[in-house]
């Protein structure tokens, strides 16, 4: 974050990725973004987390099919444990990225005062190569759906990193 006279604060910029169950899309986005942040040498400047709007999978690791797609496409291991989105996340994070319109609306429903709406965005807003407006939920589909989600999230995360770097660093 920029402060007076162009000096930088030591506070990291915090991103939260949110989907329904926090076992497929949002942990993939979190891990892909962490991979890109590490490659850019910005691990101290940007911190990522993920959450789900539901409590279906709290405590579970990322879905094994999603993990397989991430390993195949990017060579990364998905880490994390599912948790549910909390109202305190509005204060704790600088930007909250919803995977689809339903997630977006569910997040905003928790912001009764509407003071944090400016922090909530759709993940696909940051895509430059894909035209989808939402990250589809691959949970009930085949492996192609998981691969598509990884491709889409790589595009969105690259665009997001460019945007965060241009505004914050």
* Active site members: 19, 25, 137
Q: Is the dihedral of CA 163, 47, 28, 75 positive or negative?
A: positive
Q: Are 107 and 85 in contact (CB under 8 A)?
A: yes
Q: Are 109 and 138 in contact (CB under 8 A)?
A: no
Provide Rg for the chain, Cα atoms: 15
Q: Are 161 and 33 in contact (CB under 8 A)?
A: yes
């Amino acid at each position: 974050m920029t402060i007076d006279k162009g000096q930088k604060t030591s506070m990291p910029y915090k991103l939260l990725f949110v989907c329904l169950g926090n076992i497929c899309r949002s942990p993939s986005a979190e891990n892909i973004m962490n991979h890109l942040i590490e490659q850019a040498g910005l691990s101290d400047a940007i911190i990522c987390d993920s959450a789900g709007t539901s409590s279906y999978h709290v405590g579970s690791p990322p879905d094994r099919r999603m993990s397989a797609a991430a390993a195949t496409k990017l060579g990364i291991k998905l880490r994390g444990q599912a948790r549910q989105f909390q109202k305190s996340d509005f204060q704790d994070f600088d930007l909250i990225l919803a995977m689809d319109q339903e997630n977006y609306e569910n997040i905003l429903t928790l912001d009764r005062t509407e003071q944090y709406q400016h922090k909530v965005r759709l993940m696909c807003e940051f895509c430059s190569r894909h035209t989808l407006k939402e990250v589809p939920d691959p949970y009930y589909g085949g492996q192609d759906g998981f691969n598509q989600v990884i491709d889409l999230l790589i595009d969105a995360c690259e665009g997001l990193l460019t945007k965060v770097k241009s505004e914050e660093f």
